[in-house]
Amino acid sequence: MAEWITVTYRIETPGSCAAMAEKIASDQSTGTFTELPGETDAVRRRCAARVLDVVPLAPSETPSLPDDRPGPYNRADARIAYPLEAIGTDIAALMTIAIGGVYAVRGVSGVRVMDIDLPPAWAVHPGPQFGIDGSRRLMGAPEGILLGSIIKPSLGLLPEETAEMVRILCEAGVDFIKDDEKLMSPGYSPLAERIATVMPVIDAHEQKTGKRVMYAWGISAADPDEMMRNHDRVVAAGGSAAVVNINSIGPGGMSFLRRRSQLCLHAHRNGWDMMTRNPGFGMEFRAYQKIWRLLGVDQFQINGIRAKYWEPDESFVRSFEACRTPIFDPADRPLPVVCSGQWGGQAVETYDRTGRTTDLMYLAGGGIHGHPMGPAAGVRAIRQTWDAAVAGETLEDHARDRPELRASLDTFGAR
Amino acid sequence: MAEWITVTYRIETPGSCAAMAEKIASDQSTGTFTELPGETDAVRRRCAARVLDVVPLAPSETPSLPDDRPGPYNRADARIAYPLEAIGTDIAALMTIAIGGVYAVRGVSGVRVMDIDLPPAWAVHPGPQFGIDGSRRLMGAPEGILLGSIIKPSLGLLPEETAEMVRILCEAGVDFIKDDEKLMSPGYSPLAERIATVMPVIDAHEQKTGKRVMYAWGISAADPDEMMRNHDRVVAAGGSAAVVNINSIGPGGMSFLRRRSQLCLHAHRNGWDMMTRNPGFGMEFRAYQKIWRLLGVDQFQINGIRAKYWEPDESFVRSFEACRTPIFDPADRPLPVVCSGQWGGQAVETYDRTGRTTDLMYLAGGGIHGHPMGPAAGVRAIRQTWDAAVAGETLEDHARDRPELRASLDTFGAR
């Protein structure tokens, strides 16, 4: 299928899924609501999408979107192929032709974009500049999990308060620290001032220990010029990473940034849940993450086991696997960032359910800051949970002669 | 509330809506999952969001998202105020802090962003460059509806085939023609070649008649630099408008374009339905359109009565009213573009339900191209439907001595 882009849609309708697949193929390429003289065979050959197959699934008793037609609601996975010539290699064209319109189609009680298969011609996109290997290199951490933390509370700290927390986290032994995704450049902590206040702490820690902690700065702005000014401020101060709120800047902002970036781009997908939380509608992460990887995401936040947010564990496990799967080349894989309510107690299950790899960043906020013996003990406790996971031990066993882990289990274990 | 940004959320949960509102206010500003030493009163004063009120609505028997807890599902509109200091005036910050995260909150069976109230400090955004008055000026059409058409089929025409259709539409008497949103710059019709082939037709029509038809070119591209090159090609050829797929380029692409644009920006919201189709989840157009108007949309496609797509008529009517309502100033109102399956039969109802105004663009594709007496008759028929609407006549009465309208009613009337 070298000259085709194939999209898999999970269709749900009280009518025929096969007929709906044909309607989507027509609507998303050449169709309008009435027969037109201009829609010739030549036009169709050039641009018409084709239904490759329709694989039935068990019907559902309840519709994914409100529907006053009686059920059951038939379900099927339909693969539709779009000619490369009709879409080209532009991401906005792909989103518009093969993705965006499908949610407007009348008659479905649900429709979900499950996957996108791209032909080799799509390997023109920049992809991650750093990815897994570059992230490890910048953090000076060639093996094991990369351990990160988020500055909390999310909002409201003055720059000097942030700097003090960074000092504590550096001393505690993390590899990575980030601004909360909600922190960009507010009046009480403008980015330039925050950099000027915090970076000396990171520099001093490197002087003392040889370890340069990676700090990801909240550079996002709707205006790409402003975002680039933020990027340049980070680079000028010797920084190596940035938090990018990909949905809040959109593909245009991300594309603009990546083509000029010298920073490792840590993606927060804030807003993504709107697209995926209804399991019968919207988009599966497997499809979504391909777009953002091609655009240049280096590190991708994907929740974790027993996240504090709504996401089921199986969905996280699928997301992790998606990130681990090359699109065109192993170098286009971002570093999966496991996060949300993580304190180490999920390490064993995470390791066992995600292919027993330590090529990941494990991000803990409250799990470090809230440790009863202090943040350094919180960091040690989390590293101990991963040692246990790799060694195949239970946390209870591993905690026997490790007081930090013992305290973590006692404090956070009921969660 | 000069120093606050207020967001209205429609909350749905089998538990307490008031408690959920408090949780959202905390999660979206300073909170994490455990009590932290850094979350001091000073931090909270600076950044904490406040629940202003929670207005109960009738509970629902079915959850908007799948939920295994028994109903009924309580519903309420909660207004939450965010300190301007915490968000500033950046659109990416607003989306991240007050919008994006709410969809991830555990425990809701539905949550929908209904509206955003912005303080005067937000009047810094560029807004529409042309809007209603500028659109009329560029089209040389100071009064009445603006009548537009879309090149169909959506995809697959060669540039010379597009040019021939443009010639037909110009002669038929439209004010506006646009590329289908799915047409950008594919291999069989690269934008530069399409401009070179089509623009002479528009120029020739102006030479002959004095009427310069506005053509909106599909300039969207994920890469803002490429999009600007497309923009510049249009400007160099004497063009005045562009179709912009706002969700496919995102806020960054739109912001970048608007700050440099000399074109009237016609927004297609392809992909939007994913955010709004579930009435208990996602976002209401009233909230969404404010963001894009501030970013600079001049003309906004919003479907119409009896659209070919899924959208209920009441939703379209609310969208129209939202576009008609100033945010800070009447000049920040975009031209509402009524479209999707429109052929004129909906004119009377549209007029009566949208405040009896003709400050709108009425966009017909198949309704013009598919008219049995040809496109010129299709255009005349649609103008006749609007004459009837303004005169308070029925289409049947108005059609008596107007064969074009009669033929329209006979051909499309059953729809």
Per-residue pLDDT of chain A (415 residues; tens, 9 = 90+): 569 999 999 999 999 999 999 999 998 877 644 455 566 777 777 788 999 999 999 999 999 999 999 999 999 999 999 999 999 999 999 999 999 999 999 999 999 999 999 999 999 999 999 999 999 999 999 999 999 999 988 888 999 999 999 999 999 999 999 999 999 999 999 999 999 999 999 999 999 999 999 999 999 999 999 999 999 999 999 999 999 999 999 999 999 999 999 999 999 999 999 999 999 999 999 999 999 999 999 999 999 999 999 999 999 999 999 999 999 999 999 999 999 999 999 999 999 999 999 999 999 987 898 899 999 999 999 999 999 999 999 999 999 999 999 999 999 986 5
Residues B47 and B143 occupy one common structural domain: no
Angstrom distance (rounded) from CA B318 to CA B336: 12
Cβ–Cβ gap A36/B153 under 8 Å = yes
Which of B28, B32, B252 has the CB atom closest to A253's CB atom? Answer: B252
Angstrom distance (rounded) from CA A280 to CA A289: 18
Residue ending a domain, choose from A108, A124, A140: A124
Which of A34, A100, A245 has the CB atom closest to B271's CB atom? Answer: A100
Report the range of poorest mean pLDDT among B103-107, B333-337, B345-349, B364-368: B364-368
Residues A66 and A164 occupy one common structural domain: no
Among chain A residues, CA nearest to B165: A38
B220 touches chain A (CB under 8 A): yes
| Cβ atoms within 10 Å of A208's Cβ, excluding its own | 10
Residue ending a domain, choose from A124, A158, A190: A124
Residue in the structure block whose two tokens are 């205006």: A223
ipTM value, please give it.
0.95
Cβ–Cβ gap A278/B65 under 8 Å = yes
Q: Which two tokens stand for residue A368?
A: 């470090």
**Total number of domains in chain A:** 2
What pLDDT does A73 receive?
98
Cβ–Cβ gap B281/A277 under 8 Å = yes
Residues A96 and A25 occupy one common structural domain: yes
Among B165, B144, B179, B353, which Cα is nearest to B268's? B179
Residues A232 and A206 occupy one common structural domain: yes
B252 touches chain A (CB under 8 A): yes
Beta bridge partners of A310: none
Which residues of chain A have a CB within 8 Å of the CB of B169?
Answer: none
Cβ–Cβ gap B156/A28 under 8 Å = no
User: How many angstroms separate the CA of residue B130 from the nearest CA in chain A?
Assistant: 20
Residues B90 and B155 occupy one common structural domain: no
Optimal mutation site among A10, A13, A29, A33, interface B, most CBs of chain B within 10 A: A33
Peptide bond into A72 cis (omega under 30): yes
Cβ–Cβ gap A245/B100 under 8 Å = yes
What pLDDT does B179 receive?
96
Domain that holds residue B189: 131-412
What pLDDT does B158 receive?
94
User: Length of chain A in residues, anyone?
Assistant: 415
Residue in the structure block whose two tokens are 């193929």: A25
Residues A108 and A159 occupy one common structural domain: no
In the DSSP assignment, the letter for residue A95 is I
Cβ–Cβ gap A224/B224 under 8 Å = yes
Optimal mutation site among A255, A275, A295, interface B, most CBs of chain B within 10 A: A255
Among A52, A58, A111, A59, which Cα is nearest to A82's? A52
Residues B382 and B402 occupy one common structural domain: yes
A193 touches chain B (CB under 8 A): no
What pLDDT does B32 receive?
47
What pLDDT does B47 receive?
83
Query: Where does the pLDDT of residue B296 fall: very low under 50, low under 70, confident under 90, or very high at 90 and above?
Result: very high
What pLDDT does B67 receive?
96
* Angle of CA points A74, A79, A84, to nearest 5°: 150
Residues A79 and A147 occupy one common structural domain: no
Which CATH number belongs to the domain containing residue A57 in this structure? 3.30.70.150
Output phi, psi for A72, to 5 deg: -70, 160
Residue ending a domain, choose from B67, B98, B124: B124
Which residues of chain A have a CB within 8 Å of the CB of B155?
Answer: 29-30, 43, 46-47, 86, 97
User: How many angstroms separate the CA of residue A271 from the nearest CA in chain B?
Assistant: 4
Helix (H) or strand (E) holding A408: helix A403-412
- pLDDT tens readout for residues B12-58: 999 999 999 999 999 887 764 445 556 677 777 778 899 999 999 99
Under a CB-based contact definition with an 8 Å cutoff, are residues B218 and B184 in contact? yes
Strands A4-13 and A73-83: antiparallel
Among chain B residues, CA nearest to A292: B222
Which CATH number belongs to the domain containing residue B205 in this structure? 3.20.20.110
Residues B387 and B295 occupy one common structural domain: yes
In the predicted model, is pLDDT for residue B137 greater than 80? yes
Residues B201 and B75 occupy one common structural domain: no
B204 Cβ neighbours under 8 A, 6+ residues apart:
none
Which of A35, A222, A275 has the CB atom closest to B274's CB atom? Answer: A275
Optimal mutation site among A94, A182, A229, A256, interface B, most CBs of chain B within 10 A: A182
Optimal mutation site among A32, A168, A179, A225, interface B, most CBs of chain B within 10 A: A32
Handedness of CA B347, B350, B352, B357 (dihedral sign): negative
Residues B194 and B64 occupy one common structural domain: no
Residues B174 and B208 occupy one common structural domain: yes
Query: Where does the pLDDT of residue B365 fall: very low under 50, low under 70, confident under 90, or very high at 90 and above?
Result: confident
A192 touches chain B (CB under 8 A): no
Which of B181, B250, B277 has the CB atom closest to A252's CB atom? Answer: B250
* Choice between B45 and B74, residue whose per-residue pLDDT is larger: B74
Q: Which two tokens stand for residue B297?
A: 């949309």
B307 Cβ neighbours under 8 A, 6+ residues apart:
B316, B339, B340, B341, B342
A38 touches chain B (CB under 8 A): yes
Q: Which two tokens stand for residue A389?
A: 């996971």
Under a CB-based contact definition with an 8 Å cutoff, are residues B244 and B254 in contact? yes
Which residues of chain A have a CB within 8 Å of the CB of B38?
Answer: 152-153, 157, 161, 165, 369
